[in-house]
Amino acid sequence: MSFLLLLLFSCIQLFGLVPALPFSSYDYGGIDRSTILKRQLPPSPYVVTGVHAGAGLNGSLPLRLEVRELEQDPTTWTLYILGLDMLQYTNQTEMLSWYQITGLPLLLISHSSIDSSPGIHGRPFTPFDNVQPVPGNINNGYCTHVSILFPPWHRPYLAFYEQILYNLIQRIAQLYPTGPIRDMYTTAAANFRIPYWDWAAIPAAGASVFPTSVGGSPYVVVDGPLGSQEIANPLWSYQFKPLVPSDLPDFPLNQYTQTLRYPTTKNSFAQSQNNLVAQQLDNSAPSLRRRLYNVLTTYHSYRYFSNEAWFNASNNPNGYDSIESIHDQIHGLTGSGGHMSYIDYSAFDPVFWLHHAMLDRCFAMWQILNPGSYVVPTAATYNTFNNYAGETQNVNTALTPFYKDSFGNYWTSAEAYNTTTFGYAYAETASSSVTGVVAAINTLYGPQAQPTASSKAFETRESDLIPDAGTNTTEWIANIRVKRFALNVPFFIYIFLGIFNEDPASWSFDPNLVGSQFITVKGLSAIMDSPCNKCDPDQMVSGTIPLTHALLQHISVGNLKSLAPKDVNPYLAQNLSYRITLSDDTPINNSDVASLKISIACANVQTPASSTELPTWDDMEGQMDVSTG
């Protein structure tokens, strides 16, 4: 046995780590998997339709369910796991493989380098399904961020993924023994829709916000057509087959043979620390829930709701947050230096799809509450594969590379307006009832939302803090505005109330953390001239960290008298502080991010008198600036 192997084994013994196996996929025995997959050869163009089959209760559209709810249905869950396994197993040279679908934002960027160095791959890559870049924009993905198109672009992207997974699942169901068992799987397969992960709702007693199906174990036992087998958990990671470092050229991502979350190291021995991901999500859960609640209930302009670009005009203190900004924070907390931390690499991680389905659901709920507000012509802040920065994007801008028909027409935001167009709904949106959506938002995310039973993550933070229904209260927020490329790499901004541990690695777990904001960049510099490739390097992005829940705690222990500005302002001036780290916990001096402006604002808010009413916010009043940027 070589020295290296010995070392490896002793490491395993020491740390109890599971060795990184190449992969273990479901073994279909005599059935040649390539014949199952061959029949999937894509027509070109590949038309994104979503799934138009199956029926939910009373003949309504099948619903996309919360991932923990889907897990309660073992038949559908089995098919879901086997479908993911099959998709991840599909040869990454195939267009309809996990690698190419999820790598779509990234792979296009690197095609230019692959083309110029033939031999790395058996064949030169072409842009996905032959959708060509506009001249000069080869070094950009299709994905639209800091853009008015952020929510609708991801809708056909998810429908595309759902459609491919659905097709695989139909084939897998047919592999079960004929008779009642196959019938059961066939019925479940016809109703399959992708699940979402609700990172804002209060989880069941003792459970983490982070589902155990996603972060609990690298292996999973699945009851497939040939019986029970232990396979690699396709929600834990995607294993590159193989890793092609030139496709993923940014260090340390060019070292990682599988997708990682909060990686232990920056070399190929790195392991995911899903336990730490779960802990930091739980510590930030009250903040995330309030952010989502505030954005869903008090943002009525699509322009501000949809994306994080800071418009000069939005000096309105109640216009800094957005669904995209909250989205970034989940990327930051699930990545912590792993794939989710880098937008262009993030979709390789299976959790990306659960997260984006959640965002699509929030978008769908918001649409029902705000039917009059949608995409308005807005200048793009970044180049994408098909659009130039500065070019106006509108409701008819093509959402490339997603074909709507076989004549080469693309989906547009106008056409992607309604989820029913793609054959699905969410429980909250199925009946398009405004009061139904309001009630769901209040119950799940509102001030009266309760844990199903007292759960560890929340009992210490939220007891006795629930305001009475139908009364006036004061909401306090910290608005953040910063140059996205302030550091050219992603970073976190943490806000604390009171003392906190000196160690930057502990900040996201600190009991006095009020909340944090992750600032993303698309990729790193290896594949672009700079992370901001031909974009405006001074582009400002913004977000909001709610403060009220933390202030109420300080009131409940007797340190702070009330939520009135005369009490809160001096309290914050003395006790509120902020810190900055990179996504791997490296601390950054506050003075090194000169563009960062943090300002405090508050508003009188009438809490809903019943679960079918929204809160009413009076105008925000600016208070002090913590940092003047």
Ligand X SMILES: *[C@@H]1O[C@H](CO)[C@@H](O)[C@H](O)[C@H]1NC(C)=O
The two most distant CA atoms of the chain are separated, in Å, by 75
Tell me the closest approach of the beta carbon of residue 188 to ligand X, in angstroms: 18
Tell me which residues in 504-543 interact with ligand X (CB under 6 A): none
Tell me the closest approach of the beta carbon of residue 561 to ligand X, in angstroms: 9
SS3 of residue 474 by DSSP:
strand
Q: Are 591 and 559 in contact (CB under 8 A)?
A: no
Tell me the closest approach of the beta carbon of residue 181 to ligand X, in angstroms: 27
Tell me how far apart the alpha carbons of residues 617 and 619 are, in angstroms, rounded to a whole number. 6
Answer yes or no whether residue 473 interacts with ligand X by CB under 6 A. no
Determine which residue in the list 559, 564, 594, 610 makes contact with ligand X, applying CB under 6 A: 559
Tell me how far apart the alpha carbons of residues 402 and 50 are, in angstroms, rounded to a whole number. 11
Determine which residue in the list 187, 267, 472, 610 makes contact with ligand X, applying CB under 6 A: 472
Please classify residue 330 by burial: count the beta carbons closer than 10 Å to its beta carbon, then call 0-12 exposed, 13-18 middle and 19+ buried: buried
Which tokens go with 510? 């600190």
DSSP letter (8 states) at residue 37: H
The continuous run of DSSP H or E covering 109 comes out as helix 104-115
> Strand runs (DSSP E) across 367-465, as ranges?
378-379, 392-393, 398-403, 410-412, 425-426
Helices 548-556 and 274-298: crossing angle in degrees, nearest 10, is: 110
Tell me the closest approach of the beta carbon of residue 328 to ligand X, in angstroms: 24
Answer yes or no whether residue 122 interacts with ligand X by CB under 6 A. yes
Determine which residue in the list 2, 116, 589, 628 makes contact with ligand X, applying CB under 6 A: 589
Tell me the closest approach of the beta carbon of residue 422 to ligand X, in angstroms: 11
Helix (H) and strand (E) counts in the chain: 17, 17
> Strand runs (DSSP E) across 196-259, as ranges?
219-224, 227-232
Stretch that binds ligand X, among 134-142, 163-171, 378-386, 570-578 (CB under 6 A): 570-578
Determine which residue in the list 254, 271, 606, 611 makes contact with ligand X, applying CB under 6 A: 606
Determine which residue in the list 418, 506, 556, 562 makes contact with ligand X, applying CB under 6 A: 418
Tell me which residues in 483-502 interact with ligand X (CB under 6 A): 498
Alpha helices in 48-97 (DSSP H): 67-70, 74-89
- Beta-carbon contacts of 187 under 8 Å, excluding residues fewer than 6 positions away, are none
Select 71 or 567, whichever has its Cβ closest to ligand X: 567
Determine which residue in the list 44, 93, 463, 610 makes contact with ligand X, applying CB under 6 A: 93
Answer yes or no whether residue 57 interacts with ligand X by CB under 6 A. yes
Stretch that binds ligand X, among 404-412, 485-493, 523-531, 568-576 (CB under 6 A): 568-576
> Strand runs (DSSP E) across 142-206, as ranges?
none
Please classify residue 464 by burial: count the beta carbons closer than 10 Å to its beta carbon, then call 0-12 exposed, 13-18 middle and 19+ buried: exposed
Q: Count residues contacting ligand X (CB under 6 A)?
A: 24
Answer yes or no whether residue 595 interacts with ligand X by CB under 6 A. no
Tell me which residues in 322-361 interact with ligand X (CB under 6 A): none
Stretch that binds ligand X, among 103-111, 294-302, 455-463, 571-579 (CB under 6 A): 571-579
Select 62 or 215, whichever has its Cβ closest to ligand X: 62
Select 75 or 373, whichever has its Cβ closest to ligand X: 373
Determine which residue in the list 49, 420, 433, 525 makes contact with ligand X, applying CB under 6 A: 420
Determine which residue in the list 552, 571, 596, 599 makes contact with ligand X, applying CB under 6 A: 571
Phi-psi region of 546 (alpha: psi -120 to 50; beta: other; left: phi over 0): beta
Determine which residue in the list 112, 174, 264, 432 makes contact with ligand X, applying CB under 6 A: 432
DSSP letter (8 states) at residue 541: E
Select 142 or 196, whichever has its Cβ closest to ligand X: 196
Residue 392: CA count within 13 A, CB half-sphere: 7
Answer yes or no whether residue 570 interacts with ligand X by CB under 6 A. yes
Select 340 or 568, whichever has its Cβ closest to ligand X: 568
Select 287 or 429, whichever has its Cβ closest to ligand X: 429
Q: Are 166 and 414 in contact (CB under 8 A)?
A: no
Residue among 33, 104, 386, 83 nearest 234 (CA): 83
Amino acid identity of residue 460, one-letter, is T
Alpha helices in 16-64 (DSSP H): 33-38
Answer yes or no whether residue 126 interacts with ligand X by CB under 6 A. no
Tell me how far apart the alpha carbons of residues 231 and 220 are, in angstroms, rounded to a whole number. 6
Tell me how far apart the alpha carbons of residues 527 and 112 are, in angstroms, rounded to a whole number. 10
Answer yes or no whether residue 618 interacts with ligand X by CB under 6 A. yes
Select 267 or 431, whichever has its Cβ closest to ligand X: 431
Answer yes or no whether residue 112 interacts with ligand X by CB under 6 A. no
Stretch that binds ligand X, among 266-274, 319-327, 331-339, 566-574 (CB under 6 A): 566-574
Interface residue list for ligand X (CB under 6 A): 57-58, 91, 93, 122, 312-313, 367-368, 418, 420, 432, 472, 498, 559, 570-571, 574-575, 587, 589, 604, 606, 618
